[in-house]
Amino acid sequence: MKERGILAVVSGFSGAGKGTIMKALLERYDNYALSISATTRKPREGEQHGREYFFVGEEEFEQMIAEDRLIEYARYVDHYYGTPKDYVMSQLEAGKDVILEIEIQGALKVKEKFPETLLVFVTPPSAEELKRRLVNRGTETAEVIEARMKRACEEAEQMDRYDYLLINDEVDLCTEKLHRLIQAQHGKMTLHGEFVSRMKQELKDISE
């Protein structure tokens, strides 16, 4: 029987480099599956259904809620966002380590439902560096940058509810750290109930 995968949630300030780390992680290792969120917002240019998001209608989304087919969901600025349960569960059962890249509120809901979930918060080494990264993207207006910094300020209030902190100094190193952190979770005692039971029985049998 294949060992069940680890469920990990990765959150962090916009500009912390989560996306780059996820991409590097998936390119480097084949044991990960990145969960794809469902949303009722319209696809932006270049976005594909089933790649960036599952784009669904309002009614369909509400039906998913009613049928308990989402691990977590939230409404931001007139749109729903949520994590479909089926995909996550089937990947975990297939032995894949599943990563959800979601917001703090969603992360805490997932942890409540599945206490074994690993919550990782990604941050740049300083607020100044966060701002520098947002500015250097060159794609955001000053207003957007300001809004993101304000949002980071609010998010920081909850970051200590995460299990692990990942300071993104350098992408390669950070990717490797995240990989090792998730892999280490495979050793958690709570995941080895079957092994423990078998060992207890064998030791009884052999000592008699």
Residues forming contacts to a second copy in the complex (CB under 8 A) are 120-121, 123, 126-128, 130-131, 146, 149-150, 152-153, 156-157, 159-160, 162-167, 177, 180-181, 183-184, 187-189, 192-193, 195-196, 199-200, 202-207
As measured in angstroms, the least distance from the Cβ of 98 to a second copy is 18
As measured in angstroms, the least distance from the Cβ of 79 to a second copy is 25
Three-class secondary structure of residue 165 per DSSP: strand
Residue 133's nearest CA partner among 21, 43, 45 is 21
DSSP state of 186: G
- CA–chain centroid gap for 38, Å, is 14
As measured in angstroms, the least distance from the Cβ of 196 to a second copy is 5
The residue (of 52 and 129) whose beta carbon lies closer to a second copy is 129
Q: Does 18 carry a binding-site annotation?
A: yes
- CA–chain centroid gap for 201, Å, is 37
As measured in angstroms, the least distance from the Cβ of 84 to a second copy is 28
Token code pair at residue 83: 């994590």
31 in Cβ contact with 205 (< 8 Å): no
The residue (of 138 and 193) whose beta carbon lies closer to a second copy is 193
Q: Does 15 carry a binding-site annotation?
A: yes
The residue (of 71 and 120) whose beta carbon lies closer to a second copy is 120
The residue (of 37 and 175) whose beta carbon lies closer to a second copy is 175
Cα distance between residue 52 and residue 50, in whole Å: 6
Number of other CB atoms surrounding residue 105 within 10 Å: 14
Q: Which residues are annotated as a binding site?
A: 12-19
